[in-house]
Amino acid sequence: MFNSSEKDDLEAAVASLLHKAKEKGATQAAVSASLSRGFSVDLRKGAVDNLEFNRDKGITFLVYSGQRQGVATSSDLSAAALDRCVEKAWYIAKHTDEDPFAGLAPADRMASQMPDLDLYHPWDITPEQAIVLLQEAEAAGMQSDPRIQNSEGVSLNTHAAIGVYGNSHGFLGHTQQTSHSFSCVLLAAEADGKMQRDYDYTCSRRADELENFSLIAKNAAQYAVQRLGSRAIPTGKMPILLSERIAGQIWGKLVAAISGSNLYRDASFLKNSVGQKILNVCVNITENPSIPGGWGSCSFDNEGVTAVKRELVQQGVLNGYLLNSYSARHLGLESTGNAGGAHNLLVHSTGESASELLQKMDRGLLVTELMGMGVNLVTGDFSQGASGFFVEQGQVQYPVEGVTIAGNLKDMFAHIIAIGSDVNRRSYIQSGSILISEMTVAGSD
């Protein structure tokens, strides 16, 4: 999808800006340039709702005059546009206040090895071909059960991107990656007209690793039908099993709480927690940026720092934070190579299958969807709307909606008693279902 000249053009633009920064007398400078293209198709009830082509190009120029910083961006890579970019960034750098924490990551932390991580696999598919695949899949889902009465649509996305990052340390690195996905949302109706919706999706770096679209649509239909007859349950305390589909959302709260920007702003309940037991002893989490084809795989972070494998959590003990160079300086620490976020978090299973976790829970709530934004990272307070299934004697009894699950993330993390082997690999966070021994469920009184 990209030819060698396009990569060369990005590298030339990066080199040009770094040279111009040096001529200006900049203390340090960094440039990131990118090019992406692809298309997305949304279809509903056999008709195309939206067909969107994407072709974006951009460059970000970061320059330092001592401890003063200036940033400028451009979508034009012509010589004249780059000159304007330099002037704007340099003007900002000369007129902003000094920031004692500003600057590039240390030169000795720059990546030197950049192996092929198998991230780039363009898909030779036309929009016309995509539309046919979507029509076939949606029809398969609609026809799979007579209770499926409507569709909120099916979507296909295919995109490719190339990026180049360079800085005044002499570092220059490039990345190429693709992403392809299909999703389907269907609605099932009860005899009284009440409706339930649900979804399924598949995604991969490689088109040939996507799951069968018609099967995904049938799964969406099945999930929607299973939710018919949903009701609330009485308020009380009970075990909670978070399905693998939403497990990543909970670990996402952990990621946010140990990220440098929240830590140095005193906006995290996990500040000063390195070396402490913050989760139950059964929880082990590995960060591995070198997984071939992984959604969070990379050789270097957004500052050029080497991304390394590490045991982020061992037997519930937090071994480190997620820091870029700026947040690290605020905290008196060193960058962990996480400028841009975490890289492939692998939450290790305690060995139980999904059905075994239901048996272990015995009586409680299986949560398949969380709604709302009720999480306070400063205090750890957690309260979100939920739907799923009531479980008794280890068996699903009936669907549940209109409830809220509440607690504190510290308590939730401490009361995780099992993590399933049903790992969801469709995200940079890979986790199975999470069994929490007790939470408050607010339902019908």
Both 191 and 237 in one domain: the answer is: no
Same domain for 291 and 320? yes
What is the predicted pLDDT for the residue at 445? 66
- Residue-wise pLDDT for 279-303, tens only, equals 999 999 999 999 999 999 999 999 9
Does the pLDDT of residue 373 top 90, yes or no? no
How far apart (Å, rounded) are the C-alpha atoms in residues 63 and 91? Answer: 10
Average pLDDT over residues 418-433: 97
For residues 344 and 304, membership in a common domain is answered with: yes
The kind and range of the H/E element at 202 are: strand 195-204
Q: Rounded distance, CA 412 to CA 1, Å?
A: 45
344 vs 255: CA distance, rounded Å: 11
Q: What is the pLDDT of residue 63?
A: 97
82: left (phi over 0), alpha (psi -120 to 50) or beta: alpha
265 contacts: CB under 8 Å, gap ≥ 6: none
**How far is Cα 302 from Cα 121, in angstroms, rounded to an integer?**
22
Q: 219-236 burial string, b = 16+ CB within 10 Å, else e?
A: bbbbbbbbbbebebbeee
Provide the residue count of the chain: 445
Give the model confidence (pLDDT) of 207-250 as tens digits: 999 999 999 999 999 999 999 999 999 999 999 999 999 999 99
Whether 198 and 98 map to the same domain: the answer is yes
CB-based contact 201:238 (threshold 8 Å): no
Please check whether residues 211 and 236 belong to one and the same domain: no
Supply 277's token pair: 């037991």
**370: nearest Cα among 358, 390, 388:** 388
Which of 226, 248, 273 is the C-terminal boundary of a domain? Answer: 226
Report the pLDDT value the prediction gives residue 443, as an integer from 0 to 100: 87
Among 132, 149, 297, smallest CA distance to 228 is for 149
Half-sphere exposure of 410 (CA within 13 A, CB side): 13
SS3 96: coil
Strand 364-371 relative to strand 236-242: parallel, antiparallel, unpaired?
parallel
Q: CA 204, 290, 113 angle in degrees (round to 5)?
A: 125
Give pLDDT tens digits for 68-88.
Answer: 999 999 999 999 999 999 999
pLDDT band at 182 (very low <50, low <70, confident <90, very high): very high
What is the share, in percent, of the chain residues with pLDDT greater than 70? 100
Residues 250 and 214 in one domain: no
Q: Are residues 221 and 235 in the same domain?
A: no
- The model's confidence at residue 193, banded by pLDDT at 50, 70 and 90, is confident
What are the angstrom distances between the C-alpha of 140 and each of 18, 114, 152, 155, 404?
A: 54, 43, 14, 14, 34
Q: Kindly give the interhelix angle for 4-24 and 79-95, rounded to the nearest 10 degrees.
A: 40
Residue labelled with tokens 């709260």: 253
Give the model confidence (pLDDT) of 19-72 as tens digits: 999 999 999 999 999 999 999 999 999 999 999 999 999 999 999 999 999 999
Check whether residue 52 and residue 98 sit in a common domain.
Answer: yes
Asked if 105 contacts 14 with a C-beta cutoff of 8 angstroms, the reply is no
CATH number of the domain to which 146 belongs: 3.30.2290.10
Task: Among 226, 248, 280, identify where a domain stops.
Answer: 226
Strands 381-392, 285-287: pairing is unpaired
Are residue 67 and residue 135 in the same domain, yes or no? yes
- Predicted structure pTM score: 0.95
Helix 127-142 to helix 213-226 angle (10° resolution) is: 40
**Does 337 share its domain with 428?**
yes
Whether residue 444 is predicted with pLDDT greater than 80 in this model: the reply is no
Domain that holds residue 336: 230-445
Task: Say if residue 383 is in the same domain as residue 416.
Answer: yes
Domain limit, last residue, from 226, 254, 277: 226
Cα of first residue to Cα of last residue in the chain, in angstroms, is 58
| C-alpha count within 13 angstroms, C-beta hemisphere, residue 351 | 1
State whether the Cα torsion 381-383-389-393 is positive or negative: positive
Structure tokens at 19: 């040279």
Q: Are 404 and 388 in contact (CB under 8 A)?
A: no
Average pLDDT, the chain: 96
57 sits in the region (left: phi over 0; alpha: psi -120 to 50; else beta) called beta
Residues 268 and 258: beta-carbon distance below 8 Å:
yes
Q: Are 297 and 373 contained in the same domain?
A: yes
Q: How many domains does the chain have?
A: 2
Dihedral of the alpha carbons of 222, 227, 228, 232, in degrees to the nearest 10: 170
